[in-house]
Amino acid sequence: MGAGHDASAFFTARTLNNRSSDLIDLKSTIDLSISAVQAAINGLDSISELAKQAKGLAEAAKATGNTNERSTLAVQFNTLLTQINQVTNDASFNGINLLKATPDNLEVAFNEANTSNLTITGLDSTTATSGINIAVAANNFGLNANIDTALTAIGSALTTLRSNAATLGSNNTILGTRLNFTRNLVDTHETGSGKLTLADLNIESANLLALQTRQQLGLNSLALASLSEQSVLALFG
């Protein structure tokens, strides 16, 4: 292989290695994004469980006519709503929170030029009207109408939470697919670079072996020549 071809192979291998390095950075970003989305999905699961518990308390309040019991259940109901809001604040990963009152949006690039990407929109999952819209227990659940209002709100909230979880789950599936694709693309580039480098090494090894063979043949020729001279001298000894 000529020197020009060797140079071409070298620069091609370097280009492949540079692309591989860029893809590794993208792969890391995608991997972190998956964790951020998973943190949000876990948060939605916890919020759904808390909402179901709140629903149980409201149903228990409706089942009793005792004002004191209803008041106690209302306090517990409100505590669960506080917990929901705390979960939304805690469901963050690496500075990304998709569930808080003013949620982050997650933008993920899939190639170096950012012409292939995915934007995951944050979903306000607080109890505020901008989120899942569950108000504190009105009138300490003093009237059935107050409890019915809470139960209706919780029913709508659970529907919203299921829909939001499905949306994030779909996005997470896309991220997982792109992560595997990028990982395989990195392997392809590294393998291609390795083939070019290995080809150069094989050629150099062959050249070295040929040189060593020529050197050995030269040494053997010198040894035979010396032996022949000694034999001729011995005839005149």
Which pLDDT value is given to residue 1? 46
Residue 1: count other Cβ atoms within 10 Å of its Cβ.
14
Q: Which of these, 47, 57, 3, lies nearest to 157 by C-alpha position?
A: 47
User: Does residue 231 carry a pLDDT above 90?
Assistant: no
Domain architecture of the chain: domains with CATH: 17-187 (1.20.1330.10)
Of 7-16, 50-59, 211-220, the range with the highest mean pLDDT is 50-59
In terms of Cβ atoms closer than 10 Å to its own Cβ (0-12, 13-18, 19+), residue 154 is buried
Q: Is 163 exposed, middle or buried (0-12, 13-18, 19+ CB in 10 A)?
A: exposed
Count other C-beta atoms under 10 Å from residue 28's C-beta: 12
pLDDT tens profile 169-212: 999 999 999 999 999 988 887 887 777 766 455 555 556 556 66
- The chain-wide mean pLDDT, for the chain, equals 87
Amino acid at 203: I
Confidence check: pLDDT of 220 > 80: no
Torsional class of 70: left (φ above 0), alpha (ψ -120 to 50), beta (otherwise): alpha
Mean pLDDT of the 226-236 span:
55
> What span, in angstroms and rounded, lies between the C-alpha atoms of 150 and 77?
10
Q: Write the DSSP assignment of 132-180 as a string of letters.
A: T-----GGGG-SHHHHHHHHHHHHHHHHHHHHHHHHHHHHHHHHHHHHH
Mean pLDDT throughout 13-38? 90
Structure tokens at 117: 């990407």
pLDDT tens digits along 118-176 = 999 999 999 999 999 999 999 999 999 999 999 999 999 999 999 999 999 999 999 99
pLDDT in tens, 79-95: 999 999 999 999 999 99
Q: Is residue 223 predicted with pLDDT exceeding 50?
A: yes
Contact 125, 88 (CB under 8 A): yes
C-alpha 97/C-alpha 40 separation (Å) is 7
